[in-house]
């Protein structure tokens, strides 16, 4: 699987880097002080590089769960919901790629800070702390997105039996699935920019906002509007059930639709 491969690739890269650093070739004309400085720089860069990716295991685990949900939906023969779960799977794959690219950039940034002789050791530490705070913020946002995609994938599995029953009854389920498709599509893979953060306090403030607005800047409105629409559908369905002109078969179908809408309402309450 792509996640497992990515994790192994990162591990191999770090292991190779470690081997290389332990056998650093120092030019013969280096003075002892310069050589020590060079080795110290290499070791520090390796240390920070290793830290950069160490917190991504939760995201990888989440991706595996979503993959399993997609397989389960396929086995159940619920193709429409399987396709949505597959989109969630691809979305998380793209998030991992984007996060890896961003963290690689932070690694280079730390390397540049360590090399900057115009900075004192204290100034270097201060700048690196901000970069590491940004790293934490990027991973936190990615975890929030991964968690949202997993919740969507989980509710798809819960809805599968209802969708299959409605399909057999000839009911078009596109309208029921639309909010879930919309939510998956609203999650952007790229981490929200932290370029405007000048200190750790700024980073933490932006991090909180980014981890909340996982469906874009209007995340709250998206959830609120979807919940409102579902409430209206539940209300309309209940009115139909009280209509004496509707056949018994139609009422049974409406009851099944109600199960789906109530499951969606419960799902949206988690955001």
- Angle, helices 121-168 vs 32-52, to 10°: value is 20
Q: Please say whether the beta carbons of 8 and 56 come within 8 A.
A: no
Structure confidence at residue 71 (pLDDT): 98
* Closest C-alpha among 131, 87, 138 to residue 109: 131
Report residue 33's pLDDT band, with 50, 70 and 90 as the boundaries: low
Give 250's Cβ-side CA count (13 Å radius): 11
Q: What is the pLDDT of residues 244-268, one digit of tens each?
A: 889 999 999 999 999 999 999 999 9
Tell me what the pLDDT averaged over the chain comes to: 87
Residue 123's nearest CA partner among 114, 135, 111, 136 is 114
User: C-alpha distances in angstroms, 252 versus 231, 239, 257, 259?
Assistant: 19, 14, 9, 11
List pLDDT tens digits, range 93-104. Answer: 999 999 999 999
pLDDT at 22: 39
Taking the C-alpha atoms of residue 11 and residue 23, their distance in angstroms, rounded to an integer, is: 19
Here the tokens at position 128 are 């690196």
pLDDT value for 27: 54
d(Cα 105, Cα 107) in Å, to the nearest integer?
5
Q: Which long-range contacts (CB under 8 A, 24 or more apart) does 71-75 make?
A: 72/157, 72/160, 73/156, 73/157, 73/160
């Amino acid at each position: 699987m792509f996640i497992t491969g990515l994790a192994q690739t990162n591990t191999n890269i770090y292991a190779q880097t470690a081997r290389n650093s332990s056998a650093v070739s120092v030019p013969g004309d280096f003075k002892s002080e310069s050589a020590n400085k060079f080795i110290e720089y290499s070791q520090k860069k390796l240390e920070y590089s290793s830290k950069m990716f160490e917190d991504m295991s939760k995201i990888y685990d989440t991706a595996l769960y979503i993959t399993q949900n997609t397989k389960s939906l396929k086995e159940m023969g619920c193709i429409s919901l399987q396709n949505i779960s597959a989109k969630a799977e691809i979305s998380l794959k793209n998030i991992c790629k984007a996060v890896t690219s961003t963290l690689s950039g932070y690694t280079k940034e730390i390397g540049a800070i360590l090399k900057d002789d115009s900075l004192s050791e204290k100034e270097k530490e201060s700048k690196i702390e901000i970069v590491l705070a940004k790293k934490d913020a990027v991973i936190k946002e990615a975890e929030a997105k991964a968690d949202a995609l997993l919740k969507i994938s989980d509710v798809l599995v819960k809805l599968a039996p209802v969708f299959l029953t409605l399909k057999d009854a000839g009911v078009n389920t596109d309208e029921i699935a639309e909010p879930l498709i919309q939510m998956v599509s609203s999650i952007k893979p790229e981490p929200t920019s932290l370029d405007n953060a000048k200190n750790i306090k700024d980073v933490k403030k932006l991090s909180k906002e980014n981890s909340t607005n996982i469906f874009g800047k209007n995340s709250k409105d998206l959830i609120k509007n979807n919940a409102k629409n579902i409430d209206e559908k539940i209300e309309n369905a209940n009115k139909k059930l009280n209509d004496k002109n509707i056949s018994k078969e139609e009422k049974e179908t409406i009851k099944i639709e109600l199960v789906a809408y109530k499951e969606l309402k419960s799902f949206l309450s988690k955001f």
